[in-house]
Structure 1
Amino acid sequence: MKVAWQGVYPAVTTKFTNDDKLDLKMFETNIQAQLAAGVDGIILGGTLGEASALLEDEKDTLVSATVDMVAGKVPVIMNIAEQTTKAAIIAAEKAKKNGASGLMMLPPMRYKADDHETVTYYKAVANSTDLPIMVYNNPVDYKIEVTLDMFEQLAECDNIQSVKESTRDISNITRMINRFGDRFKILSGVDTLALESLFMGANGWVAGLVCAFPKETVAIYRLQKAGRHEEALKIYRWFLPLLELDINPKLVQNIKLAEVATGIGTENVRAPRLALSGAERKHVLQIIETGIKTRPELPDYLNL
């Protein structure tokens, strides 16, 4: 299935049962809520998906099961976060075999590769597959920045098509557009900068709080793209305290707690992560409860 790299792409959480197995029933409940809200793709195995805690067979199951669940409505994207080029190439092969339509790729994990090593890593994987690739550029959390000069080299690979822009520097969107035009699609990867990024020309939004609030997220995107900026901004201002739950070391626990509150998830996380407790839990619940109580009425955003 062709990947347009525009619109809202939820980086979905992975659901677990109380005995720490994949909870595909609740996972499908969430996926169907995303589809009903009008999302444009599904991303598996990102930070929110607890990728580092998933077993290899679980990743295979998630991809194939999600492909079945979406039934061709939207593309399924698998994240690659590996320590070696060899493992990344194998992961790309498995993602395609299991039905993924595209890949999101982090730079090499653990080892802080230099620019040349990072470019070589991306090119090796890109040249090993025909799946389209979105570069995940997040130097704040993963310590390697994919610079504009590096993108110049990556542009040689036709299937490196987009970037999840998570540098936290809004002006980087303008730099990308000034240098490359529309060669790379740009998707905001930071919830609290998403609308600002769309105003600056980003094509889409890889979203986190969409996991709990899919309709509001898609409404913001579609209203902005339709030129109804004030309506988008009003919803975004309501959303911001919730979006800030995504820029936190415990974003997985925060967002899963929000999914419970909206009825499309469970709180179960995989150790060493633990569910929130005490004052921390009370604080997050207060933000979620306030958001739900003041939830805005949405226009008919699906028919703009």
Structure 2
Amino acid sequence: MSHPWSGVFPAVTTKMSRSGDLDLPAMRESLERLIANGVSGAIVLPMLGENASLTLAEREAVIRTAAEVVDGRIPLLSGLAETTLGTAMANAQLYRSWGAQGLMVFPSLGYKSDPRETAQWYREIAAAAALPIMIYNNPIAYGVDVTPAVLEALADVPEIVCVKEETGDIRRVTDIYVALGDRFSVFCGVDDLIVESLSLGVTGWVSGMTNVWPKQCVALFELCRREEFARARDLYRMLTPSFHLDTHVKLVQYIKLAEHLVYGAPEWTRSPRLPLVGEERAFVIDTIEDAKARLAASDWA
């Protein structure tokens, strides 16, 4: 299955009011801002988008709103995070009907499947979805690793076109290419490994902090794609302390607060997540304000 996926695909945060309701106008504004700054695609309802905290009706509202805003200008993917195969298959079809052009599929959230079970999970969702699929491989968070061997077992499934690589082990990028050549697109899924990953040949980046600095993240990606690594390193060093926020268990609160500080987006999350307070809040603010100052004093503002 051919697909146009390459470049920077922000994992879009789901904007909410202080009471925890969806803030669709803010969602529209953030998507327009991302597109205006050159992102190549967008992924709504990722883990960063609080997928598991939303009702099915709310997910429909997010996907339909995003599809209306995007209007074919860039590929629109939706995260698909479910516990049972039946629900995953049914919702894959719903998400397609609501406007998703592809899916970033999580492993089962309720069970740590073995390699055979993992391959079957993705195979059956792919058959039901009839959409191009990006495998979301984050064994640190979910305890399931889609290894090169699992990918080999899925190489005959045309709908599976891409893997978001988030093991944190930079060697995995090369291991995938050695085992499978260019069968799958490989996207970096860790903000503070993007330059390293691009040097090894990834073709895309699923990024959290692109919500905050889309212009700079797109520039960083393009510098690396052109192998201008000396310039890329300068920008990367300005952004890496804030990129580390993307790897923390509270990345949702951290990135939403960063968005609020940089362009005024609402920082609110849904319970059980709570607003940041005290030293933790001060740490995030200091990290973002330092990056803002460094960027302002550079050519990357």
Alignment TM-score, normalising by the size of structure 1: 0.96
Q: Which residue of 1 aligns with 2:48?
A: 48
Distance change (3 Å), C-alpha of 1:264 and 1:225: farther
Per the TM alignment, residue 116 of structure 1 is displaced from its structure 2 partner at its CA by 1.2
1:134-158 Cα deviation digits (max 9, x unpaired):
0111111110001111111111100
1:175-196 Cα deviation digits (max 9, x unpaired):
1111111100000000111110
Q: Take 1:24 and 1:47, find their aligned partners in 2: how far apart are those partners? A: 18
Amino acid at match of 1:44: V
**2:176 equivalent to 1:191:** no
Q: Take 1:230 and 1:37, find their aligned partners in 2: how far apart are those partners? A: 23
Q: Secondary structure at the match of 1:20?
A: coil
Amino acid at match of 1:234: D
Q: Which residue of 2 aligns with 1:302?
A: none
Q: Take 2:3 and 2:56, find their aligned partners in 1: how far apart are those partners? A: 24
Paired residues for 1:143-158 under 5 Å:
143-158=143-158
Q: Which residue of 1 aligns with 2:6?
A: 6
Point out where structure 2 has 5 or more consecutive residues left out of the alignment.
none
Paired residues for 1:104-143 under 5 Å:
104-143=104-143
Per the TM alignment, residue 264 of structure 1 is displaced from its structure 2 partner at its CA by 4.7
Answer yes or no: is the 8 Å Cα contact 1:42–1:76 preserved in 2: yes
Paired residues for 1:91-106 under 5 Å:
91-106=91-106
Answer yes or no: is the 8 Å Cα contact 2:239–2:291 preserved in 1: yes
**2:41 equivalent to 1:38:** no
Q: Take 1:233 and 1:32, find their aligned partners in 2: how far apart are those partners? A: 28
1:225-258 Cα deviation digits (max 9, x unpaired):
1222211111111100000111111111110111
**2:295 equivalent to 1:297:** no
Amino acid at match of 2:9: Y
Q: Take 2:247 and 2:116, find their aligned partners in 1: how far apart are those partners? A: 30
Per the TM alignment, residue 19 of structure 1 is displaced from its structure 2 partner at its CA by 2.6
Answer yes or no: is the 8 Å Cα contact 1:7–1:221 preserved in 2: yes
Paired residues for 1:151-170 under 5 Å:
151-170=151-170
Q: Which residue of 1 aligns with 2:176?
A: 176
Q: Which residue of 1 aligns with 2:209?
A: 209
Per the TM alignment, residue 205 of structure 1 is displaced from its structure 2 partner at its CA by 0.5
| RMSD of equivalent CA atoms | 1.2
Q: Secondary structure at the match of 1:48?
A: helix
Amino acid at match of 1:190: V
Amino acid at match of 2:76: V
Q: Take 1:18 and 1:196, find their aligned partners in 2: how far apart are those partners? A: 38
Q: Take 2:27 and 2:248, find their aligned partners in 1: how far apart are those partners? A: 23
Q: Secondary structure at the match of 1:103?
A: strand
Alignment TM-score, normalising by the size of structure 2: 0.96
Q: Which residue of 1 aligns with 2:62?
A: 62
Q: Take 1:121 and 1:232, find their aligned partners in 2: how far apart are those partners? A: 38
Q: Take 1:168 and 1:128, find their aligned partners in 2: how far apart are those partners? A: 30
**The 10-residue stretch of structure 1 (263-272 or 58-67) with the greater mean CA deviation from structure 2:** 263-272
Amino acid at match of 2:29: T
Q: Take 1:181 and 1:113, find their aligned partners in 2: how far apart are those partners? A: 26
1:185-233 Cα deviation digits (max 9, x unpaired):
0000001111100111100110011111111110000111122221111
Q: Take 2:45 and 2:3, find their aligned partners in 1: how far apart are those partners? A: 17
Q: Take 1:19 and 1:3, find their aligned partners in 2: how far apart are those partners? A: 39
Q: Which residue of 1 aligns with 2:81?
A: 81
Paired residue total: 298
Answer yes or no: is the 8 Å Cα contact 2:5–2:75 preserved in 1: no
Answer yes or no: is the 8 Å Cα contact 2:11–2:49 preserved in 1: yes
Q: Take 1:221 and 1:108, find their aligned partners in 2: how far apart are those partners? A: 31
Answer yes or no: is the 8 Å Cα contact 1:188–1:206 preserved in 2: yes
Point out where structure 1 has 5 or more consecutive residues left out of the alignment.
300-304
Q: Take 1:128 and 1:20, find their aligned partners in 2: how far apart are those partners? A: 32
1:261-282 Cα deviation digits (max 9, x unpaired):
1115111100010010011111
Amino acid at match of 1:12: V
Paired residues for 1:8-27 under 5 Å:
8-27=8-27
